[in-house]
Structure 1
Amino acid sequence: MERTTIRRATEEDAERLTALVQESRAYRGRYATVIAGYRVTAAYIERHRVFAAVGTAGRLLGFYSLVLEPAELDLAFVSDEAQGTGVGRLLMEHMLGQARRAGLTDVRVVSNPPAERFYLRMGAERVGVVAATPPKVTWERPELRFVVDRQHVTGTGAASSG
């Protein structure tokens, strides 16, 4: 299994992050409208805490975006090829470490329905449902919450998935 490093995303990552979103199997079919035309811009990366998981030779494996006000995991994607390898877990652990350092007590997640099980396995709890917002989102979405453990602050952001 390749070594995975989590680092702060830069403006130069915007196109690769956008491509990862657009290519995601999780948003095909019924869920495609959510990401239709969606772009991760340099301005978005500058404004929020966006972190990328990169593997050997800088290969993009996934990323997340933590918005501080109000506290929310806005984006979280793992490349189709890296799913099931522990990259998602590394990203969530890193996100919770960032939330702790920022002084957050919890982090909201509005999930794509198929991703809900992943977030529950990562320790989130379901707190409700977000209503559909047609025409782009025509289904209810699970609303979850990570409680930020104030006792433990994670490491530096470099992690190994293997």
Structure 2
Amino acid sequence: MSDITLRRATADDSRRLTRLVRTSGAYAGEYASMVDGYQVGGAYIEHHPVYVAVDAAGRVLGFYALLLDEAELDLAFVADEAQGRGIGRLLMEHMTGEGRAAGLDSIRVVAHPPAEEFYLRTGARRTGTVPPAGHTHWARPELRFDLTADAA
């Protein structure tokens, strides 16, 4: 992990982040419609705290996007070939630190169903279920990272 660093994403990362989302193995099969045509745009990256995990060669291995006004994790992805190396955990630790620094008490996550266990392992707690809506034809787990001193 010593060769992995986190940095703030820039609009120039848009294509790489979009590719990471669209090629995610977690969105194959029945979930493919969620990322079909999805775009992580430069304006989105510039407007929200988006952080990328990069290796020593500068390759993007994962990223997250936090919506501060909504206190919600909007996006979190780790490249398929980089999973199992602790990158997701590193991203979640950084995300909760950013949330605390911004004065948030908690961060909501509406998770992709296969990712629920990951969020539970990284400190989130299950708070409910979001019913299907729009292009999402399945219920999604709702979780929350508590950021208060008592929860840390």
Per the normalisation by structure 1, the TM-score is 0.90
1:139 is the counterpart of 2:128:
no
The structure, 1 or 2, with the larger RCO (C-alpha pairs under 8 Å, 6+ apart) is: 1
Residues 86-97 of structure 1 aligned to structure 2 (within 5 Å): 86-97=86-97
Distance 2:89 2:70 in 1: 23
Distance 1:150 1:10 in 2: 31
Kept in 2, the 8 Å contact 1:20–1:79? The answer is yes
Runs in 1 of length 4+ with deviation above 4 angstroms?
A: none
Distance 1:36 1:17 in 2: 14
Aligned to 1:104: 104
SS in 2 for 1:7: strand
1:11 is the counterpart of 2:8:
no
Per the normalisation by structure 2, the TM-score is 0.96
SS in 2 for 1:18: helix
Q: Provide the alpha-carbon RMSD of the alignment.
A: 1.6
Distance 2:84 2:149 in 1: 28
Aligned to 2:84: 84
Unaligned runs of 5+ in 2: none
Unaligned runs of 5+ in 1: 154-162
Q: How many residues align?
A: 152
Q: Identity over aligned residues, as a percent?
A: 58
